[in-house]
Structure 1
Amino acid sequence: MSVRLIVSILTINLSIPLFSQGLEFINIDSTNYTFDFFIDKAKEEDKIILLYLSGEGCTPCMRMQREIFVKDEVKETYSDYLLVNSHLIMRPYPMPHNLFKKVNKAHLKLRKKFKSEGAYPTFYLIDKNGRILKKANKMTTEEFIEFANTETQ
């Protein structure tokens, strides 16, 4: 199997849980874009970024995807945001080791940039200039909606 095919399969597999659950996040780790690309996109579209850091096996992440991201009021609340996800992968199988390292390197770089402690899920509201407006970890539906409605810490 070619590396290109494996990358395509991986990209689809990483994106499916988020796309099928309501909110449509762009998975930064499965693209060739850097975070600066999303800052430029936020400037161009005049949007706030919702950065969602998640990890493999993260039970609260899966619960939020399954129970919160699917709700109409959540989808409506975040409809004008640029939704970006970065997902930490714990095991390299079935992807090639060099891709595994690339994906996790991008994720760890974001964690370092935003001084994330590694608790998942972690959410950041980031303005179009790259400034953190707000940060939170796992939330209820009401807290997640309120998180969007109050844009500063």
Structure 2
Amino acid sequence: MHGDSGSSDATPLPGPGDGPLTSTRTALQSACPTVLVGSDGYPVALCTPILGQVPTVHLLDPATGRSLTSLKIAKGSLLGGVYAYLDDQDRLVAVDGERPLPRIGHRRTAGGGWELYVARSLSLRDAVPEGDAVTGPAATRSGRTTPAPRPSRPSPPPTA
């Protein structure tokens, strides 16, 4: 939506060019501020449905844009669970309303369909206080996503 994790609305990537474009509309009945395409060519979208407003991850068909499968994540505050990024293994990294940091992968099922699954999850309960929200995570240059620990509060001075 904004071009980079700093929301600069600028990107070094080329645009679509000035030739003719074709597009199709996919009706997910959602606002989808994060749509990312991994190295395998499959778009992954983090969307908030109009009804219920529970953030939902969709794996999209690269040819048609239709949802191949979806996975709901816990609803947070107004902006919780809105932005995400893909890690080096094409897993969607987001923060949900219960304050874990899931890495959501996709794979083929034994029956030939698709599934989204939580490949790994890290609790942010010690780093994000109850009632606070994370709009979206961002990776460091080394690929780390874990937040810095909150500074400990000094003990109050003894009373006489």
Using the size of structure 2 for normalisation, the TM-score is: 0.28
Higher helix residue share: 1
Higher strand residue share: 2
Using the size of structure 1 for normalisation, the TM-score is: 0.28
Structure 1 or 2, whichever has the larger Rg, is 2
